[in-house]
Amino acid sequence: MGEFNEKKTTCGTVCLKYLLFTYNCCFWLAGLAVMAVGIWTLALKSDYISLLASGTYLATAYILVVAGTVVMVTGVLGCCATFKERRNLLRLYFILLLIIFLLEIIAGILAYAYYQQLNTELKENLKDTMTKRYHQPGHEAVTSAVDQLQQEFHCCGSNNSQDWQDSEWIRSQEAGGRVVPDSCCKTVVALCGQRDHASNIYKVEGGCITKLETFIQEHLRVIGAVGIGIACVQVFGMIFTCCLYRSLKLEHY
């Protein structure tokens, strides 16, 4: 009877080992995906960060990069701990899983919270940012972001093209007789902003605030979904780890 119990326990441990190994392979790939989303945000979607008053959007991206990196390292550690059957490594692996779980939950919560307050922030700050910092010394990033925003989303000004009449830029020599920046033009050529007819500029297409809000909200949904989704998957990893740890402990005794 004792021999039967020992074989049964050994069989269960082997099954858990292979289950946890398979999980870690998927977990490593998930870490790569999490890190890719964070890098994607920082490298390709960060052009408009200078237009945002809050640093929350940027913080969520950095959290995902850090979490993704740790996930990949943890996945390798998990494979080693599983096949070496080292309980101390399994303890470390579990702790790292818990840390990553918390990081991804935080990223998801930040993304959701910022999603809720984005409309208010843009209404309060975007017009001031565009009218007071565009083409002003030390605000080259804002200038570049505004020009790209207006061209990419086919818009002019925060609410409409009239916003530019209240800007610091239009009162400066930089304006050169323009009534809107050249980036408001449907076809950008030098000094095209001198003529603000609807056939020449994005006048009836609406302001940029709604289009920027939609763009950022869509990306925040991706960040939140990735963070919360991977965190939920990690719960299974923690359960498998506890089961294997307990099985090895029973075999040891």
Question: Predicted confidence band at 169 (pLDDT cuts at 50, 70, 90)?
Answer: very high
Q: Which long-range contacts (CB under 8 A, 24 or more apart) does 50-56 make?
A: 50/141, 50/142, 50/145, 51/126, 51/129, 51/130, 51/142, 51/145, 51/146, 51/149, 51/212, 52/121, 52/125, 52/216, 53/121, 53/124, 53/125, 53/129, 54/114, 54/117, 54/121, 56/110, 56/113, 56/114
- Band (pLDDT 50/70/90 cuts) for residue 251 is low
Give the confidence band of 10 by pLDDT, cuts at 50, 70, 90.
Answer: low
Q: Is the pLDDT of residue 184 over 90?
A: yes
The pLDDT of residue 8 is 44
Residue 115 φ/ψ region, left for φ over 0, alpha for ψ in the -120 to 50 degree band, beta for the rest: alpha
pLDDT exceeds cutoff 90 at 167: yes
pLDDT band at 90 (very low <50, low <70, confident <90, very high): confident
Check whether 108 has a pLDDT greater than 90: no
pLDDT at 107 over 90: no
Stated pTM of the model:
0.76
Q: How confident is the model at residue 130 (pLDDT cuts 50, 70, 90)?
A: very high
